[in-house]
Chain A
Amino acid sequence: MRNVRDSFLHFLADNLPDIPVRNVRVDKDAPEESRGLAMNALNVKFLNMNFDVLFSGQSVVLDLVHDDELTAVEWAQKVWEVLGASFYTEKLDYTDPQHPVPTGNNIMWDTNSVKFRPISNPLYYHLHAQFMLNHH
């Protein structure tokens, strides 16, 4: 599952150079990462892990937060173009982040499941999407 997280985060960050990608997680040495959503960023959080001997699943949440609604809509379009251009990416082992190693497997998602929903908030514009990543 760690390789799935690392690979998907880099898939988004490497293909969306104009959008800051951030992983919301508990990390005692990086307290800012656990401080909720970041403004003007694509926040990625991982939820359920469904382990299986054949196909495992990892639930992922994308929270696009921006102080300008129209920019957020443009960003959502860019995220969708990356996720919709293909339905999979290579699963890599990022133990050495400078030299990721192929694992021989892929991470897949259902492009029809990528749906951004607005969440009302008086402080910023917030688009939310949740879908599953499947992998060997």
Chain B
Amino acid sequence: MNAQALIKKADKVLTKYGAPTRKVYKRVITRTGGDQLIGRPGSVSYSDTELNPQPTYQRGGRQSVTGNRVAAEYVVANGRALTPDMAVFLVSPTSMTQVELENPNLVLVMKDASGNTEVFQIDDVNPSTMNGVTVIYTVYARSVQR
């Protein structure tokens, strides 16, 4: 089996076992006009592209710490108690390139059918390779906005 065949096989597995309830998008943020140095407003546009195949993901699960103690720092937003959380995505090179994963103005976004979104900032990318070709990216991301 060569790397390309392995990528195809991985894509099939990702499609079969991918995120069932929420879809993952790559969002490129573009700013035009304004004064970026001081953060004064110009116009901001989001370009969301659905990942195909969808990645699988796993939460860091800080909320799952057991015991009668605070497991994570909470912040209340829009009537919900939110916790900072990490997630690990398995992303196919079919759906994202190394250049995209290294783009500082690209974030991952999860969307559900109700229109809820959660934004993840990519912290680290670990490519797994076969014969010099990346067959899967392990992407470590941090939830920064829900």
Contact = CB atoms under 8 A, between A and B. Distances in A.
B95 interface: no
Interface string A15-37: 00000011101011111111100
Interface stretch (B37-45, B66-74, B85-93, B132-140): B37-45
A21 B144 CA distance: 25
Interface residues of A, number: 21
A23 B105 contact: no
A17 to B, nearest CB: 13
B107 A13 contact: no
B39 A32 contact: no
B98 interface: no
Given A30-B29, A31-B29, A10 B37 contact: yes
A105 interface: no
Contacts of A28: 119, 144-145
A126 B34 CA distance: 30
A9 B35 CA distance: 11
Interface string B32-62: 0011111110001000000000000000000
- What secondary structure prevails in chain B residues at the interface with A? strand
A31 B40 contact: no
Contacts of B36: 30, 33
B121 interface: yes
Nearest to A6: B38
B121 A31 contact: yes
A23 B38 contact: yes
A10 B37 CA distance: 8
A94 interface: yes
A28 B39 CA distance: 11
A9 B37 contact: yes
Contacts of B144: 28, 31
Given A23-B37, A34-B121, 5 more contacts: A22-B37, A23-B38, A29-B44, A31-B144, A35-B121
